[in-house]
Amino acid sequence: MNAMPPVDAKTSNPAVLAFVEEAKALFKPDNVRWCNGTKWEYQEMLKALVDGGTAQWLNPAKRPNSVIVRSDPADVARVEDQTFICSRSKDDAGPTNNWADPNEMKATLSKLYDGAMVGRTMYVVPYSMGPIGSPIAGIGVMVTDSAYAVANMHIMTRVGDKVLAALGQSSDFVRGRHTVGYPLSTPATADVPWPCNKTKYITHFPETREIWSYGSGYGGNALLGKKCHALRIASVKARDEGWMAEHMLILKLTNPEGRSKFVAAAFPSACGKTNLAMLVPTIPGWKAETVGDDICWMKFGADGRLYAINPETGFFGVAPGTSNDSNLNAMKTLTANIIYSNVALTDDGDVYWEQMGEQPAHAIDWMRRSWTPASGRPSAHPNARFTAPAAQCPVIAKEWEDPAGVPIDAILFGGRRASVVPLVSEALSWRHGTFLGSIMASEKTAAAAGGGVGELRRDPMAMLPFCGYNMGDYFQHWIKMGEKGGSKMPKVFYVNWFRKSPEGKFLWPGYAENSRVLKWIFERCDGTAQAVDTPIGKLPADGALDINGLNVAPGAMGELLKVDIAGWKSELPSIREHFATFGAKLPSALSQELADLEQRLG
């Protein structure tokens, strides 16, 4: 006999009900609450966070309906060393992922999960990644004991009853289990402002489309719709079903004649991704609008082109470095309805972080300590975040919620490189573009756990921490997609805003001036801008890059567009070593591209 659904469950879907009942039996929460996605519910979550000491209201005259949250100092970023891909075969996880046997991992976590929500409420969060009902979108159901996670999921995804209605009786949804791992096991157990556990696991079961997360309440460790679902699980689903789930922004670019193109771009964290997504062009008559700042799902349309959606509804951005100078549109987005995590609190109830603007004379830092500019330490954590509704972005494109997606004309790769990589180059083909993406490298940032800031790290397609399967197979999937799409595939470009002079000064002004590079890319897609063939790809011909009115140092443009033959030759052993990581899984097409590059370099 079928069990009756719980009173507040807005579904009769047996797979959803069974999932929730199983979680309830395991976690043993005091209450179960099905999230309906209303504004009232979101406000209730914020109130619960404030009442529990997790959050504090900001000055409503400064930041209406916004809160500041400080996490435990031991829970501030992704924990890559405790992030696992639990595929049935270790070979399917590949050399760049931590692998664990799925049965063993579930046994380990089941013990940790047993009673982990005693004294707490288990929230059931049905969510859609992408516009509800879009053929490119996907649905998940997440259970969590964190009101912080629920509030963030409200901003970052589409939550509630409409999602369950769209799912109907289908069992095709991602199952997410999350707990902070801090049960209130006796009436005397005191809660803390930021409950978490020293033991942390973020685990993914690709074949069964499950995410099991334990011990962390922060960011992508707890917002299971974000990297866990939208990239690690979705990348596997995309491989299986013939589409692409990528760590890319989506930008709409419109020229003075009113014609638009859509560009997707992959950069590792803290390489200017959000800045580019909200660009304000400096070239008269050009307009840039945001479709998405972080994740891009692409499927072939009826016309054979790739169409993309932004599966998210919010921005979970790195705060330090965000300012009116670096990203005016982000700052305009952050005026109200924001969750700030691990930033500083000013004496007048506003927020502050490094490089935001004028320093306050005094503030309370992210660890709740008194801070002044003379303190000798940052006021905000380097990975401090803002969670902001995308709809508030002043340059959000009208197509950003189009269920059909937007047609992608160009794909950009890039990273922080002080030398060797020029300002911009165009790939010779889709396969060559795949090669360029596969060898992407960037200087390490604070968004990734561990030391070595500044050290070079190869991060293919900016997917190294996020690819849910063997990256050798992932490269092969890119090649297969190119073969399927043929001449209708987007053009591929490689950019580097971070080239430095021998004296260590940035050669390119970056930020809004990157629109000049985008203009050349737009015109290359039209076949109107001039380019020259070089051993590393097509570079702007002399005068093809619009630098009218740009104040660049004498000789800087020559340096920015120089093909550093010796530098590229010196990189070949490092590329070979990188490729050797993938062993027999490395596509022969990429080995051939490397051989071709070496031959062209002479």
Q: Where are the domains of the chain?
A: 14-55+78-241, 245-310+400-601, 315-392
Q: Name the strand (E) or helix (H) holding 340.
A: strand 339-341
Q: What is the mean pLDDT of residues 176-180?
A: 98
Question: Which DSSP letter does residue 146 get?
Answer: -
- Phi, psi angles (nearest 5°) of residue 327: -160, 80
Residue 474: strand, helix, or coil = helix
CA separation for the pair 568, 575 (Å, rounded)? 10
Pairing of strands 249-254, 385-389: unpaired
CA separation for the pair 149, 211 (Å, rounded)? 15
Q: What is the pLDDT of residue 356?
A: 97
Q: What is the pLDDT of residue 602?
A: 92
Q: Kindly indicate the confidence band of residue 551, based on its pLDDT and cuts at 50, 70 and 90.
A: confident
CA separation for the pair 348, 330 (Å, rounded)? 22
Measuring CA to CA, which residue among 179, 170, 182, 240 is closest to residue 211? 179
Cβ atoms of 467 and 437 within 8 Å: the answer is no
Percentage of residues in the chain having pLDDT higher than 90: 91
pTM of the model: 0.95
Q: What is the pLDDT of residue 444?
A: 67
CA separation for the pair 388, 293 (Å, rounded)? 12
Pairing of strands 138-144, 158-159: unpaired
Q: What is the mean pLDDT of residues 308-328?
A: 94
Residue 369: strand, helix, or coil = coil
Residue 213, CA distances (Å) to 139, 152, 419, 520 in order: 18, 16, 39, 44
Q: Enumerate the β-bridge partners of residue 138.
A: 129
Tokens for 125? 């969060």
Q: What is the mean pLDDT of residues 497-504?
A: 91
Q: What is the pLDDT of residue 457?
A: 86
Give the list of residues 6+ apart from residue 463 with CB closer than 8 angstroms, or none.
231, 235, 246, 247, 266, 471, 474
Give the list of residues 6+ apart from residue 190 with CB closer than 8 angstroms, or none.
none
Q: What is the mean pLDDT of residues 114-128?
A: 98
CA separation for the pair 472, 148 (Å, rounded)? 36
Q: Kindly indicate the confidence band of residue 187, based on its pLDDT and cuts at 50, 70 and 90.
A: confident
Tell me if residue 271 is catalytic.
yes
The residue with tokens 């504004």 is 39
Measuring CA to CA, which residue among 223, 228, 213, 208 is closest to residue 82? 213
The residue type at 68:
I
DSSP character string of 239-283: HHHT-EEES-EEEEEE-TTS-EEEEEEE--TTSSHHHHHT----S
Task: Look up the CATH number of domain 315-392.
Answer: 2.170.8.10
CA atoms within 13 A on the CB side of 325: 9
Top CATH class of 245-310+400-601 equals: alpha beta
Q: What is the pLDDT of residue 131?
A: 98
Q: Kindly indicate the confidence band of residue 449, based on its pLDDT and cuts at 50, 70 and 90.
A: very low
Catalytic residue among 86, 196, 228, 271: 271
Cβ atoms of 311 and 163 within 8 Å: the answer is no
Q: Kindly indicate the confidence band of residue 2, based on its pLDDT and cuts at 50, 70 and 90.
A: very low
Cα 424 from chain centroid? Answer: 23
CA separation for the pair 408, 306 (Å, rounded)? 6
pLDDT at 330 over 80: yes
Q: Name the strand (E) or helix (H) holding 600.
A: helix 588-601
Question: Which DSSP letter does residue 455 get?
Answer: -
Residue 549: how many other CB atoms lie within 10 Å: 10
pLDDT at 342 over 90: yes
Top CATH class of 14-55+78-241 equals: alpha beta
Cα 303 from chain centroid? Answer: 28
Residue 169, CA distances (Å) to 16, 19, 172, 423, 554 in order: 9, 13, 9, 51, 65
Q: What is the pLDDT of residue 130?
A: 98
pLDDT, one tens digit per residue, over 206-231 is 999 999 999 999 999 999 999 999 99
pLDDT at 375 over 90: yes
- Residue 552's Cβ-count burial label (10 Å; 0-12, 13-18, 19+) is middle
Residue 503: strand, helix, or coil = coil
Q: Kindly indicate the confidence band of residue 4, based on its pLDDT and cuts at 50, 70 and 90.
A: low
Torsion angle of alpha carbons 270, 511, 223, 111, nearest 10°?
0
Helix 147-156 / helix 39-51 crossing angle, nearest 10 deg = 150
pLDDT, one tens digit per residue, over 152-177 is 999 999 999 999 999 999 999 999 99
Q: What is the pLDDT of residue 270?
A: 66
Residue 105, CA distances (Å) to 100, 214, 237, 552 in order: 6, 12, 21, 55
Q: Kindly indicate the confidence band of residue 253, based on its pLDDT and cuts at 50, 70 and 90.
A: very high
pLDDT at 541 over 80: yes
DSSP-H helix ranges across 28-119: 39-51, 90-93, 102-113
**Mean pLDDT score of the chain, rounded to an integer?**
95
pLDDT at 273 over 90: no
pLDDT at 129 over 50: yes
Measuring CA to CA, which residue among 375, 561, 412 is closest to residue 494? 412
- Residue 597's Cβ-count burial label (10 Å; 0-12, 13-18, 19+) is buried
Q: Kindly indicate the confidence band of residue 248, based on its pLDDT and cuts at 50, 70 and 90.
A: very high
Question: Which DSSP letter does residue 487 get?
Answer: G
Q: What is the pLDDT of residue 446?
A: 53
Q: What is the pLDDT of residue 272?
A: 81
Residue 602, CA distances (Å) to 406, 560, 569, 596 in order: 41, 22, 9, 10
Question: Which DSSP letter does residue 66 get?
Answer: -
pLDDT at 197 over 70: yes
Question: Which DSSP letter does residue 225 get?
Answer: I
Tokens for 483? 């073969």
